[in-house]
């Protein structure tokens, strides 16, 4: 589908040349500002960066226009960029009408944030690269795939990442304005995406993808918050439920879907049961991580601030209305997490729903992929004939108390210092089992020894080993 761009393609190409010539890239801007001013800018403090960009060179002009939101003299702007479509006149000079910034090896076009244009955002605001964007991009599996879909592409950040390992990228958004920005992002970076307008999976109905990613408008509330990037128009967590229910329908065999989601914790309902209901009968493996939980007051305040609504005269009314809605809906808290679905073809799909609140090693995507691989390796197998080894960096921590015969171990924890950094309390039998997994003996032999020493039968040993393999404490050889 042909999507309007913010500027014609030929102008976009001249703009990319000008950005390149000026050295307006991640390295160039870091060299220009230095570490301190860069750090200050990341904290929302512009002054050090303003002081570092007074020379009038093209890279300074571009940095001031797009990263600092200043109005620059017309002559300096003309020298820095050949395209006026992304600027607006302001007195004798020009200022940016959009955000255009280096990100990794790319440039990304989005709307200006509240840091440079204070006040409530426009309802069709197109978000730039934010912390949720990065969370998803770090969690995404980066194996080579044929086809990938970025649902709710916005500025195109996920599509950029997908372009590195997907043969073809389709990107959708309900907002034509977002698609125009994504199109310019693609063009500036010499990429070509199939951009489609429409609601959720509607634009790709009947198609199949090897990888689907989405950072959807997951914010939970009455459904009428009014900002398209944040509020889906559906009340509560319905947008996430709907996406999860529909996503398997567009997954190719072996395909993956990864999305960020929020869900409510309701009075009288376990959040795990709520998610299990969403995943029931989908026919795909699923791994749900709850990373954080916020109470309703924290949550509403966070998202009101995100859209610049703190400065609005209606702030307190909107805040109160949101809390009223939470109270009426029986919402006690809101969970935030990552959902990964895999059309593995398993006859009985595995569904795991758990808290993953520890600090994980980034990028986390490869560790997610490893988890599914380990699951495949052991799910239907009789483990008795398999040799298992320990994760190479595995540690056992012991807590001991003084007793009549010296120190007596009272608690033991397995700990992985890398990867997902799981830790788990284990009893002496499990500690002995893990110690015995040196890759030399099949599990059946070990199980016989454990049965004699600790009285656990072979079935129990297999169940324990499956859990230890899933979490990566043990590795099938
Ligand atoms: C949180 S932003 C994510 C943008 C970008 N993908 C990222 O990772 O930062 C959500 C995006 O979904 C789009 N969106 C909102 N409602 C949608 C819907 N019903 N169908 C498709 N896209 C939608 C918004 O316009 C916005 O671009």
Kindly report, residue by residue over 219-238, the tens digit of the pLDDT.
Answer: 999 988 889 998 989 999 99
Prior bond to 363 cis, omega within 30? Answer: yes
Question: What's the CA-to-centroid distance between 163 and ligand 1, angstroms?
Answer: 18
pLDDT of residue 3: 64
The conformation of residue 63, written as its DSSP 8-state character, comes to I
The residue whose CA has the least distance to atom 7 of ligand 1 is 133
Q: pLDDT of 283-323, one tens digit each?
A: 999 999 999 999 999 999 999 998 888 878 889 999 999 99
The continuous run of DSSP H or E covering 461 comes out as: helix 458-470
Beta carbon of 182 within 6 Å of any ligand 1 atom: no
pLDDT of residue 1: 46
Q: pLDDT of 339-355, one tens digit each?
A: 999 999 999 999 999 99
Beta-bridged to residue 257, according to DSSP, are 212, 341
The conformation of residue 152, written as its DSSP 8-state character, comes to S
The conformation of residue 361, written as its DSSP 8-state character, comes to P
Beta carbon of 262 within 6 Å of any ligand 1 atom: no
Beta carbon of 217 within 6 Å of any ligand 1 atom: yes
State how far the alpha carbon of 158 is from the alpha carbons of 106, 196, 272, 313, 332, in Å: 12, 15, 28, 35, 32
Instruction: Please state which CATH class domain 383-476 belongs to.
Output: alpha beta
Beta carbon of 175 within 6 Å of any ligand 1 atom: yes
Residues 6+ apart with CB under 8 A from 265: 271, 293, 331, 332, 333, 334, 335
Question: What's the CA-to-centroid distance between 173 and ligand 1, angstroms?
Answer: 6
CA distance 218 to 263: 9
CATH superfamily membership of 131-378: Vaccinia Virus protein VP39 (3.40.50.150)
Beta carbon of 136 within 6 Å of any ligand 1 atom: yes
State how far the alpha carbon of 24 is from the alpha carbons of 50, 60, 272, in Å: 16, 9, 46
Do 131-378 and 383-476 have matching folds?
no
SS3 state of residue 449? helix
CA distance 451 to 460: 10
The conformation of residue 10, written as its DSSP 8-state character, comes to H
The residue whose CA has the least distance to atom 26 of ligand 1 is 229
Q: pLDDT of 249-272, one tens digit each?
A: 999 999 999 999 999 999 999 999
CB count within 10 Å of CB 91 equals 9
The residue whose CA has the least distance to atom 27 of ligand 1 is 154
Query: Among residues of the chain, what percentage have pLDDT more than 90?
Result: 91
Q: Are 50 and 70 in contact (CB under 8 A)?
A: yes
The continuous run of DSSP H or E covering 52 comes out as: none
**Residue of 152, 227, 240 to mutate, ligand 1, most atoms within 8 A of C-beta:** 152
Q: Helices 296-306 & 315-328, crossing angle to 10 degrees?
A: 140
Domain map (residue ranges) of the chain: 9-96, 131-378, 383-476
Order of strands, edge to edge, in the sheet holding 395-403? 395-403, 406-415, 423-426
**Residue of 138, 148, 150, 154 to mutate, ligand 1, most atoms within 8 A of C-beta:** 154
Q: pLDDT of 11-30, one tens digit each?
A: 999 999 999 999 999 999 99
- Give the start-end residues of each E strand in 231-324: 251-266, 285-294
Beta carbon of 199 within 6 Å of any ligand 1 atom: yes
Q: Which residue has the tokens 């305040």?
A: 301
Phi-psi region of 126 (alpha: psi -120 to 50; beta: other; left: phi over 0): beta
Closest ligand 1 atom to 150 CA? 6
User: Average of pLDDT values for 364-386?
Assistant: 94
The conformation of residue 347, written as its DSSP 8-state character, comes to S
Q: Helices 176-188 & 9-22, crossing angle to 10 degrees?
A: 50
């Amino acid at each position: 589908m042909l999507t309007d761009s913010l500027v014609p393609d030929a102008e976009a190409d001249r703009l990319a040349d000008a950005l390149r010539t000026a050295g307006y890239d991640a390295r160039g801007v870091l060299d220009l500002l230095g570490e301190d001013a860069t750090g200050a800018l990341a904290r929302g403090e512009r002054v050090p960066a303003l002081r570092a960009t007074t020379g009038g060179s093209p890279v300074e002009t571009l940095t001031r226009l797009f990263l600092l939101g200043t109005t620059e003299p017309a002559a300096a702007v003309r020298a820095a960029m050949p395209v006026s479509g992304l600027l607006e006149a302001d007195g004798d000079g020009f200022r940016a009408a959009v955000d255009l910034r280096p990100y990794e090896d790319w440039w990304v076009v989005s709307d200006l944030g509240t840091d440079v244009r204070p006040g409530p955002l426009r309802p069709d605001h197109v978000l730039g690269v934010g912390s949720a964007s990065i969370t998803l991009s770090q969690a995404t599996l980066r194996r080579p795939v044929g086809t990938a879909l970025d649902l709710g592409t916005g500025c195109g950040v996920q599509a950029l990442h997908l372009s590195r390992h997907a043969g073809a990228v389709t990107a959708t958004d309900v907002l034509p304005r977002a698609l125009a920005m994504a199109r310019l992002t693609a063009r500036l970076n010499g990429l070509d995406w199939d951009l489609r307008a429409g609601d959720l999976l509607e634009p790709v109905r009947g198609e199949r993808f090897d990888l689907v990613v989405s950072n959807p408008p997951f914010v939970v509330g009455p459904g009428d918050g009014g900002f398209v990037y944040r509020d889906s128009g559906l009340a509560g967590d319905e947008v996430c439920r709907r996406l999860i229910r529909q996503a398997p329908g567009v997954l190719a065999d072996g395909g993956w879907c990864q999305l960020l989601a929020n869900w409510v914790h309701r009075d009288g309902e376990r959040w795990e049961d709520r998610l299990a209901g969403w995943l029931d009968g989908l026919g795909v493996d699923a791994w749900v991580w709850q990373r954080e939980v916020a109470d309703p007051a924290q949550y509403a305040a966070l998202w009101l601030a995100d859209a610049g609504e703190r400065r609005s005269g209606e702030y307190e009314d909107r805040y109160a209305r949101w809390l009223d809605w939470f109270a009426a809906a029986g919402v006690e808290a809101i969970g935030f997490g990552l959902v990964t679905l895999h059309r593995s073809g398993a006859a009985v799909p595995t569904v795991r729903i758990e808290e993953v609140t520890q600090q994980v090693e980034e990028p986390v995507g490869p560790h997610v992929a490893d988890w599914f691989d380990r699951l495949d390796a052991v799910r239907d197998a009789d483990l008795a004939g398999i040799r298992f080894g320990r994760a190479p960096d595995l540690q056992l921590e012991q807590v001991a108390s003084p007793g009549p015969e010296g120190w007596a171990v009272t608690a033991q924890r397995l700990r992985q210092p890398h990867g997902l950094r799981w830790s788990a309390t284990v009893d002496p039998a499990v500690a002995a089992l893990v110690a015995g997994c040196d890759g030399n003996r099949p599990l059946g032999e070990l199980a016989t020894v454990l049965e004699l020493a600790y009285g656990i039968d072979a079935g129990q040993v297999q169940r324990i080993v499956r859990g230890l393999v899933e979490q990566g404490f043990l590795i099938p050889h």
